[in-house]
Every structure is written in C-alpha cells, then in structure tokens.
Structure 1
C-alpha cells in the first residue's frame, strides 16, 4: 500500500509539474506599489490595496503576527473581528460571524474554507502546520464562492507563505516561554539567477500541555503536547515579464500527546441533561486557572500522535495581451497515526488513517481593459480517505468496537465567473456566479472484534473473530448555483460598498446504510442523508480615511441561514439502534445580524491606537430537534453578542534602533454552547484577555529582542463542552509569556 501511495504521489506531482510547464503568469503581476500604511491583498484574486477592496476582510502581515507573538491560527481572534478558531483532536474548528461546522470527520466539510496560498485544505487536522514564514493572513467574512475554491458559507482564511525574492537574505527567529514552549524558524532566500529564486524555511514547534496532570500515579504523561517539525521549499521562476512559475513543497512531522480536554465538572456544577422545553444552564464554577485545567481521571493508556502531512502546489500566470491565464494545482497527503483516550481517560482509542486530496483551478482574467474587469474559471477537487477508529473495551472486556471506512470519496466540479464594470469613474458594479456539483460516497462497516485480552492499544492479545454489526454504504450528488451582486463607490473619504451574496455547503450522510440495502441496514433515507446548508448575506460597508491620522472601517450585515448542519454523538447505530456513532442533521433556519467597527488612530508620530467594537445577533429562527424542544430565538454556538478591542503601539528611538511597547485588551460578552446529544446548555461568561509586549529592533532591522505576555488575566475560556459519559471541556490558551529573538541577514 505504501509503495502504491508513493507512486500515486510521484505521478500526481509530475502531472502538476507538466501542467505548470504548459500553462501560464505571476499572481502578483501588476500589483500596486506598497505603501507604509496600506496592505496589498489578493482577496479578489487580483492584487489591490486592502482599503480599496470592497469586501469585509482583515489582513494581517507576517511582521504584525511576529510583533504580536501570534504563532498559530488559534490566536488570530485577537486581530480579526468575529473570528474564533478552536483546536481539538479533530483539528481546527473555524467560526466566522457565528457560522461554523462541528463535523470534523472524513466526510465533513468546514463552513469556513481554510486555504494555503490559495489552495483549499480539506482536513482540519492539516490546517495548523502552515503557520510559519508567513507573508500575511487574509480573513474574508461572508460567502466567497464566486472566486474561491470550494464553496463556503462562513468565509475564507487564506494563509500566504512568503514568496522567494530576487535578493539574498535570511532570518532566524526563536522564542521560549512557559509550558516549556519553544518555537524556532530559520529562513534562507537565494536568487539562483536573474529569473530564478529559491526560498527554504524550517520550523520547530514544541510545548507542554495546558492540561495539568492531576493523577501522576497512572504513569501516563501528558507532555509534550506538541513536538512538530515542518519544512517548506519554494521556487519562483520568471523567465519573462509575462510569465512566471511558483512551486511550493512542504512536509511536516507532527508528534505529541493528545489528551487536551478535562471533565465538564471542572468548570460546571448542576449540569442538567435530557430533552425538555426549558433551557436551564449549569453553574459556572469560580475556580483558579489550575483547577480548571487539572485532569485527575486515570488515563488508561499513553496517548500519542505520529502524523505526517505533505503537499506540493504550483501556480502559473501568463499574460496574453489583455488576458491573464492562471493555473493552480495541488496534491496533499495526510497520514494519521493516533492513540488517545475518550471520556477523559475511560475509553481507549486508536486511529490509523490516510487521506489525500488534489485540486486544479484554471482562471482567465481580463487585464488592462479600462472599465471592465472580469474572471472566469473552472475548478476540480477530489479527496479520498481510508480510516479505522478502534474503541477498546467500550462494549465489554476484550472487545474492539471498530468503525471501518474505506473509501470515503468527495468530488467537487465547479465553473465560475465574476465581472466588475465601472459605471462611472467612481462607481463600480460587480456580478458573479458559480455552479457547483458535489458527489460524496462512503463504504465500510461497523464491527466488533474479539481478543483473548486487550490491555490497551499497544497490547492486544490473540485475535478471535469479527462480528459485523452494520454496513456503511451511502452515495449522493448535490448541486447548487450561487451568485454575488455588489456596488462600490469611491468618495473623497474612501470606499463605500454594498453586496448580496449566497453561499452553499454540500449535504452528506450519516453512519449506516439504507433499510433493505445490506446486512444490518436500518436507516431510513431521511435519517441517513442530510441536505445542503445555504446562506444569503446582505452587507453594506465603508473603508474611510478622514486624515493621515484616522481611519475607520464599518460593516453592517444580515444573514438568512437555511439548513444548518449540526453534528452530535448518539446511540442510534447498529442493528438494534444502540451503538454509538456521530450523526448530522439540518436545523430549519437561523438569522445573523451584526455590526463591525474598527478604527486606527495616530495621535502622534510615536503612538498608534486601534479600537474595535462588534455586535452580533446570531440565533435560530426555526429549529425543533424533537417534540417539546424548540430552539427558536436561541443563540448559535460561540456567538458572543458583543466583542471589543482596545490596543496601542508606542515607539521611541533608542540610539539608532527603536523600542516599541504594544498592548491590547479584548472583551467578549457571554456566549453559549449546546450539546445536542444530551441537551445540556453550557456557556462561557463574559471575559477579557489582555496582551503586552516590549520589542527592541536594531537599525536596519538587523535583529530584534522581544518580551511578551498573553492573557494577563489568566482567564481560561471554554471553547467546547459536552455532557454524559463522553462529556468533556476544551478551553483556550491560559496565560503564556516568554521572550523572542530574531536576526536578519
């Protein structure tokens, strides 16, 4: 099997390289010149200033990320409004303006598209390894289907790694902090010739667990939580002004322990479960950070992660007079080898799995054509996986409860186009459309294996036999046409824009198979399959500059959200309907309304101030999961009504260098989380998190030295909570502090 995978990898990589040699130009061609107080972005698939781009988005440069000490995506919420990125064993869960996905299995699609250099990354487990040697991060809020990869209902997080440059240089940066956190990145950039440049970057990222081992007597270590090494090699070839080739290959080895949750009793008392017409919340306990984070349960086995993630992508741009052709192709593979504990240590699990994905996108854009700008393109995406989940001794001594899924396949075929026409010198009209077809299938079974003994995932006795409980067989095709209409007007103060756009996420299927189609098949079609979710977004906004010392961005939006896909664990599978599995179903509808405001002030040459305030009302309009339970008016998960940020940078010269003191406080009002499996209604009380850093930068940026502290209050924030036998709480970063140093050459 490994040799077949290597051959597949080699053949697809060669195919991508042949395609790269036959199409054609550099994405950044015709980019506007950079300025000291604006950022060049590619949100509209062409280079433009952030202040001139009629999309609700935030762009953060790699320099700003480094200055703020942001070294992973979960910390982006401090810089991006209405964004939450949580980490779990299933990877990253991204929530934008209250829209999210809780299905991180091999069949699930995230509501927010995570992209690396414009390439969609399907598996949440592969999304964190890209976060080093970053040029910038662009976060687009709202549906972006007419231009970006697979459709997304929530928005896009696009991480852009630094491209090779035609000058020799390099850097070495390292940080060390509490929790024995060590992060180091080395970069070297080499101009091989006047037309060819290479960039290589290596990152090492290690830290201990935020969870405290409260039962060392079980002889199971929770550390290190992360022990990752990643490498990236980039090549940029520009043989002519009209033609460029950009190729990136990356590899990551991901290791560490996986026990990163605690029992719900650490945070909550008086937890009420069961279907009911009322929504009693438990008591949020007033405890110390260490008390919240202590895992006292016996862990029945040593958890560990030993995963590989690798990929290759290529982008070609070729100018033909008034047309630019762009091809983006990629292939990625993720191998998971994980041993961990469910139910806070009570259930031992082993997860081996292999995933691969390939995508191909071809676009043609009009350039230098006066009033009309337009793009058309086609997109193909395919993903396959082969996984097994073993749950040991859950159903009885020496029994292995297995979920075998081989293969799970997802194919997306899309065509799209978008055009912008200048009705007047300052007034532009935009229209876009996309047709998407998604085919999903999964085959396999649920079984119970018997052994003479099962001590843990590392120690299995003699295999005795297998009893297949249920077949897994499902296949469906979904299709949808989505569109976008927009107007933007440039005033003396800046840009004003309005848009209506639609988003779509394909439907899917649950575990099991339809009645009458195989042994143990007991699912009705209405229960086995769930439908697509759709979203219509109405938005008006402004990006204004009142003076060199004051900028203001404002956005007002309303979402009509239909068919929300909600996932939960439930005992409904198997021949008798009493085996555990995950199910997804559609909620009827939801409404999302909000206002986003952020301002940049520069009262003096040395002082800059950032102010932001966001209002979000995200709630179910109609949803009755079962008789007597009505969610109408209830808030969507992880959707605080109010968030606000106050930040500053104060710089002063020190000799020929510069010393900068930076600080910010982020406030979030209360938000709620519903465990749909048990009908327990958890919440996170209002909180603040404050950060502070002090950085000295030497003349000509030759080196820097920085000290930082994040979450000064040491508030431990709940990001996910469930009840029952498998109940757990996931939480955000506690107080972290440390120092960073870096040199450039």
Structure 2
C-alpha cells in the first residue's frame, strides 16, 4: 500500500507543481462563453463535478442526442476505459478492466447500474433506450462505501428529468432510417395544481434487420422495443419532496445472431464461416424480455439533517433461444428462460446544507430471487432424450450499514473517510429433469442426504471503505489522493447444482486525480492515474453442451490513466474528448481454461495464464467530438462529428481470441428554429461503415461472433411546446 500511495502521490505532485502558474495565465473573457457547470450525485447528493474527488465522466442529455448515444451499448463511445459487451439482450460492462463476463441471472455486474438511485441488479435488465434522461454519470473505481453493492469496477448512474410543476411541456420526435429503422420518443409533463406534477415518457424503436440466415432464409439482427416511464413529483411542504416512479419495457428481437468465426470448422465437422452478417443455423434465435419496476423516493429536510428514503422494486423475465453450435445440425439448441426479481430499501441521513462537516450515514436492505425456469437443452446434446431441463434458483438477502464524512482540515484541504459493513445470505437449489422425471444425483458432501435437488447456502460478511484527501491547488484546480476497497458479491452456479459456490471478489484501488477548470471556464480537464490490486476474481467458462461454471480463480494488477477534456474554443465551437490507457495483467492464474478454436482440434485443457492480459481491458481507448453551432435568422444550424477508438481486447484469459481494435465515427447535421420549438436532425451512425465486433466467444463447440450494425442513415424530426 505504501508503494502505491507514494507512486500516485508523486504523479499528482509532479503535475500539480506547475498548475497554479498555468491557471494564473488564463486570459480575461466573458464568462457567458464558458462551459456550463455539470452537477452530479457521485456522493449521493448534488455537487459540482469539479468539486467531487472521484473520477467521473458525465454525459448530458444534449451530448446523448448530438452524438447518437441512443442506448446502453453506445455509452462506451463517450467514456474512456469503458467496454460494454452484448450477450443476447444482456449488457456486461467492464470499467478500467474490471467486470464480469457472466450472464446468469444471479451474476450481478461488477459495474453497478442505478436509475434515479435504484439499483438494477440483473444484467438482463440493463439494456434499454435512453429517453427523458437528464444526464448519465459514470463513476470509476470501486464505490465500496456509498454504493456498496457489487460496485467493484464503478457505477453507471442514470438520472431522469423531473416533471415541471410550473408549466406543461410536450417534447416529441420521430425518426426513420435505413434497414427499416423507426425511432420515436415522446415526453409530456404537466402540473397538478401548485404542489404536484406528473410526466410520461415513451420510447419506441425497431428495425427490420441487416443480415440473413442462409440455412433458414430468415432475416436476422431484428428488434422491436417499447419503453414507458412515468414520474409523479409531489411537494406537500417547503421541506418535503416525494417522487413516485413506474416503468415498463418490452423487447422482442432475434437475440444474439452468432456465426462461426473465420477459419473455424463447426461441431458438425462441415460448417464454416458463412460470410459477413450471415448465420447458418437450424434453430431460430430469439431474445425477448419484459421488465417493469417502481420506486418511491422521499426527501425531507428536518433542519438538523436531511432524510432520504429510496424504495425500489425490479422484475425481469427473459426468454432466449440460441443455436449455440451455430450450424445447420441440431447439436445444441438452448431455450433459456430467466427470471429476476428484487426489492430494495435504503435510508440515508445527510448533513444539513450549511454544515461545515459533510456527513452521511445510511442503511441498505436488498432481497432478490433469481431463477432458470428452466434452461432447456435440445438437439444431439440431449440425446437420446428429447430435451433436458436444468432448473436452478438463488435467493439473496443482504443488509449493509454505511457512513462517510468529509472534514475540512484547512480552508483548502479536506479529508474524507467512509466505511460500509455488509452481511449477506445466499440460498440455492437446483435439479435436472426430462419430461417431468427428475434425475437422481450421486451423493454430494455439499448437500448431504439429498438425492435429486441439491440445496446449499453461504454467508458473506465484508467490510469496505474509502479514504481520500483533496486539496485546492489554485483557482479552479483540485487535486486528490484516494484509497478504496470494494467487493463484488459471491454466488452459486445455478444450472450446475451440487457445485461449490464462489466467494466475493475484492478490489483495492489507489488513485491520484486532478480536476481543472481554466481560462474563465473555457477549458475543463479532469484526469486520474490509478493502481488496482484485484483478488479472488470470478472466472466464467463455457464448456461443451452449454454447461457454465464460475469459480474464484485469479488475481490481477491494473495500472492505468484516464482523462476527459472539454474546450469552449469559441461561443459556437466546442471540442471535447477522453483518453484511457490500461495495463491489466493476471498476477496469479494457474488454472485458466484453453479452448481450441474448433471442437475438431481437441478438448478444453487447463493452462497457466499468469502474466496474460486481463479480458476486456483495452490497452487504449478514447473519443473526440467536434460540435459547431451557427445561429442564423432562420434558426440555429449544428454540425457534430464524434469518433471513438479502442484497441483490441482478449475475450478469455488464455489470450487466444481477441476482438480487434476499431474506430467508429458518428455524425449529425441539425437545425433548430429560433423559438426552439421545431427541429430536424440528419444522422449517420458508423459513418465509414466499419466492420467491428460486439461480441466474440470461445466455447467448446467452436468460436462464435457477431458484428455491430453497418452504416445507418436516418432523419429525425422534433417538436417541443416550449
């Protein structure tokens, strides 16, 4: 720890020595031409981005629209060191190399997603369109105190807008594009008297597909999605705010249309790569889910403190059909039915706004049930039976208490300390059957006396923390050092009943950062260097016949750097970008799995992956955006060009199969009327029609993959009532 702290302190000090002189060189300027201040809730209350001693990338609603960041998957183009992988209708985020490639319903993400303060536990429930969003905050590094639950890699916070009590609002848009793309968004808000308001947000998008299954002569890469969200805001008194929110979304799609990778012969011994955006299967892939939830937030200013109560409920049901072998021969036909339901209750007591010491204490209760209902395997993998049904469930109950305080030591120096204690109990059970007949299993020490099912349980008790010091180094310049510990909870292999559970991951993070706002707010530069010690990493393997197994099998070390910059070059021209660099390697991984590219090349075998690069940890990633606005007598015209680049990433610790690096460019041309009521936008996604992969997977049946969408062109028209 001492070595890490000294190294990061040296980086920060060496950079900081020159900063006061640089800040003093700022020329005089009209402050109206500066960048707008961004308010974030990284510490569970509203603060300026530049005052928070945490590495945060914030993306505003305007940025989302102009850069064509329309859904969860697009977010990685705006956040350095963020990688998002798609598996069916699940999105698994990796931040600074920390993440999980698991896709079971009980495998909560290492990078936790929150919407308006409510935790979204299931990776199946975190792929959605962005609508009525005020901003998205990506907190980097373990957030083991204030967010606690499974925030080893970081937190993605989605903040939606509140309805307006004072005046009604209607904001609608409809767009159409290539491949039968239709996108429609609507937002309506109105006051209900002087103390309440309600809104409704609707989003819809679909496309007719941009690929073909050559065996079934069917269109693929199709989807149809509908989302509804409503919020009621009630202010019964000057010091009380109540927000009741409900949402529903439905997705029907062809799921993950996998193909065999180039040069790979499939498990049937015949089938090979079918061509770009083509598949060759016997089984219709689908990816459908239904998600709904509700939340209640109550904020009460009691004078001596502020009280916040956040109650949340989430329900996810997923139905996926997958031809896992990706050949015309019925070898493995997987019908995957997943279920996740969770309830959470959080209470916070915060310091009054005029307190010199900024403190917060809280408690969090989480109750969830996850299940396969069931996962059915058909085809030759089930022979001589028509199908094999794998049932499994896990129940989780978690209770944590936490507190954090920031104490001013001098007029320019603050120290922050926080602790969180978590107790968790997990129970699981599972069975295998066919045609309603339950299969017996051999005697198992993990569930003594059981013959068909195999019930197990485990308890988890962990203490996590945060310690930081931040120093004002000049006007608009803040430096900080921090040490954080976070955990990702353990769990069970639900469709492998009778196998041991896996324990939590532990991550210790050492970080030094600078936040600078210079030249009369014309330049904003936020940067951080970090070192991670990563222990008991949960590793996920896919074996033949669709079996999956998670174990604690590795340790790793990550060194890295990331930065965000925004420049208001003129009143009409804004330049922004981000850059990330990672050096993440396994320091101890003696029993990794090597999977040959084709099942004809032999079985999976254990290897020593110590020294190999971590999965989904690009050596570099970055983005740059040029945004120009030109006011005229007939309205404002705008041009936005954004590019995202990232280097290759390995998909397993064996470092055999990689997703190649790529650069993708999006662009928009827009017009807004002088009264800002009418608008039109011409957009191009993947401007140069680059072929890049959203997913590649090693499995015993042969390497499989699928490409991102090709160049898509469209037009969106919009209307706003005020």
- Fold-level similarity (TM above 0.5): yes
- Over 3 Å counting, the alpha-carbon distance change for 1:731 and 1:153 in structure 2 is farther
Report the Cα distance in structure 1 between the residues aligned to 2:362 and 2:547, rounded to whole angstroms: 39
**What SS does the corresponding residue of 2:45 show, helix, strand or coil?**
coil
- Over 3 Å counting, the alpha-carbon distance change for 1:665 and 1:305 in structure 2 is closer
| 1:47 aligned residue | 46
Question: Is 1:169 aligned to 2:169, yes or no?
Answer: yes
| 1:606 aligned residue | 572
Matches of residues 546-557 of structure 1 in structure 2 within 5 Å?
546-548=518-520, 549-557=522-530
| 2:612 aligned residue | 634
C-alpha contact 2:688 2:711 (8 A) present in aligned 1: yes
**What SS does the corresponding residue of 1:531 show, helix, strand or coil?**
coil
**What SS does the corresponding residue of 2:63 show, helix, strand or coil?**
helix
Q: Deviations over 1:602-659 (max 9, x none)?
A: 3322222124322111111111116972222211112111223232111212215111
Q: Deviations over 1:249-282 (max 9, x none)?
A: 11122222224222123xx5699xxxxxxxxxxx
Pairwise CA distance, 1:382: 0.7
Q: Deviations over 1:74-104 (max 9, x none)?
A: 0011111111122222511101011111222
Report the Cα distance in structure 2 between the residues aligned to 1:89 and 1:139, rounded to whole angstroms: 23
| 1:192 aligned residue | 192
Report the Cα distance in structure 2 between the residues aligned to 1:468 and 1:615, rounded to whole angstroms: 51
| 2:711 aligned residue | 735
- Over 3 Å counting, the alpha-carbon distance change for 1:424 and 1:700 in structure 2 is farther
| 2:382 aligned residue | 395
C-alpha contact 1:303 1:339 (8 A) present in aligned 2: yes
| 1:323 aligned residue | 305
Question: Is 1:420 aligned to 2:402, yes or no?
Answer: no
Which deviates the most, 157-166 or 471-480?
471-480
Question: Is 1:222 aligned to 2:204, yes or no?
Answer: no
| 1:492 aligned residue | 475
Report the Cα distance in structure 1 between the residues aligned to 2:53 and 2:228, rounded to whole angstroms: 35
Report the Cα distance in structure 1 between the residues aligned to 2:150 and 2:60, rounded to whole angstroms: 25
Pairwise CA distance, 1:404: 0.8
C-alpha contact 2:430 2:496 (8 A) present in aligned 1: no
Pairwise CA distance, 1:599: 2.1
Question: Is 1:434 aligned to 2:420, yes or no?
Answer: yes
C-alpha contact 1:264 1:723 (8 A) present in aligned 2: no
Report the Cα distance in structure 1 between the residues aligned to 2:662 and 2:286, rounded to whole angstroms: 33
| 1:260 aligned residue | 257
Report the Cα distance in structure 1 between the residues aligned to 2:690 and 2:91, rounded to whole angstroms: 21
Report the Cα distance in structure 2 between the residues aligned to 1:580 and 1:303, rounded to whole angstroms: 15
- Among 661, 676, 683, which residue is 1:708 paired with? 683
Matches of residues 613-628 of structure 1 in structure 2 within 5 Å?
613-625=579-591
- Among 668, 685, 691, which residue is 1:693 paired with? 668
C-alpha contact 2:679 2:718 (8 A) present in aligned 1: yes
| 1:208 aligned residue | 208
Report the Cα distance in structure 2 between the residues aligned to 1:568 and 1:52, rounded to whole angstroms: 42
Report the Cα distance in structure 2 between the residues aligned to 1:149 and 1:205, rounded to whole angstroms: 34
| 1:504 aligned residue | 487
Question: Is 1:559 aligned to 2:541, yes or no?
Answer: no
- Over 3 Å counting, the alpha-carbon distance change for 1:378 and 1:447 in structure 2 is same
C-alpha contact 1:437 1:479 (8 A) present in aligned 2: yes
C-alpha contact 1:144 1:156 (8 A) present in aligned 2: yes
- Over 3 Å counting, the alpha-carbon distance change for 1:48 and 1:259 in structure 2 is closer
Q: Deviations over 1:87-142 (max 9, x none)?
A: 22251110101111122212212111011111111111111236221111111010
Report the Cα distance in structure 1 between the residues aligned to 2:124 and 2:467, rounded to whole angstroms: 34
**What SS does the corresponding residue of 1:291 show, helix, strand or coil?**
coil
Which deviates the most, 709-718 or 47-56?
709-718
Question: Is 1:590 aligned to 2:556, yes or no?
Answer: yes
- Among 512, 523, 535, which residue is 1:540 paired with? 512
**What SS does the corresponding residue of 2:564 show, helix, strand or coil?**
strand
Report the Cα distance in structure 1 between the residues aligned to 2:634 and 2:408, rounded to whole angstroms: 48
| 1:278 aligned residue | none
Tell me the C-alpha RMSD between the 2 structures. Answer: 2.4
- Among 213, 220, 237, which residue is 1:240 paired with? 237
**What SS does the corresponding residue of 1:76 show, helix, strand or coil?**
helix
Gaps of 5+ in 2: 1-33, 267-271, 442-451, 593-604
- Over 3 Å counting, the alpha-carbon distance change for 1:354 and 1:77 in structure 2 is closer
Q: Deviations over 1:685-733 (max 9, x none)?
A: 3321122211111113212111111222322223332143153214434
- Over 3 Å counting, the alpha-carbon distance change for 1:149 and 1:642 in structure 2 is closer
Matches of residues 421-500 of structure 1 in structure 2 within 5 Å?
421-449=407-435, 467-468=439-440, 471-490=453-472, 491-500=474-483
Pairwise CA distance, 1:226: 1.5
Matches of residues 308-387 of structure 1 in structure 2 within 5 Å?
308-344=290-326, 346=330, 347-386=332-371, 387=373
Report the Cα distance in structure 1 between the residues aligned to 2:492 and 2:567, rounded to whole angstroms: 50
Gaps of 5+ in 1: 1-34, 272-284, 450-462, 515-520, 572-578
Normalising by the residue count of structure 2, what TM-score does the alignment of the two structures yield? 0.86
Report the Cα distance in structure 2 between the residues aligned to 1:700 and 1:631, rounded to whole angstroms: 61
| 1:659 aligned residue | 637
- Over 3 Å counting, the alpha-carbon distance change for 1:75 and 1:359 in structure 2 is same
Pairwise CA distance, 1:513: 7.8
Q: Deviations over 1:522-571 (max 9, x none)?
A: x5xxxx12221100011111111220332221111110111111101235
Report the Cα distance in structure 1 between the residues aligned to 2:245 and 2:536, rounded to whole angstroms: 38
C-alpha contact 1:130 1:159 (8 A) present in aligned 2: no
Q: How many residues align?
A: 653
Q: Deviations over 1:466-485 (max 9, x none)?
A: 54456342211111100000
- Over 3 Å counting, the alpha-carbon distance change for 1:637 and 1:52 in structure 2 is same
**What SS does the corresponding residue of 2:98 show, helix, strand or coil?**
coil
**What SS does the corresponding residue of 2:547 show, helix, strand or coil?**
strand
Q: Deviations over 1:375-414 (max 9, x none)?
A: 0000000111342111112221552111112x42111110
Matches of residues 64-213 of structure 1 in structure 2 within 5 Å?
64-89=63-88, 91-129=90-128, 131-148=130-147, 150-166=149-165, 167-210=167-210, 212-213=211-212
Report the Cα distance in structure 1 between the residues aligned to 2:49 and 2:708, rounded to whole angstroms: 30
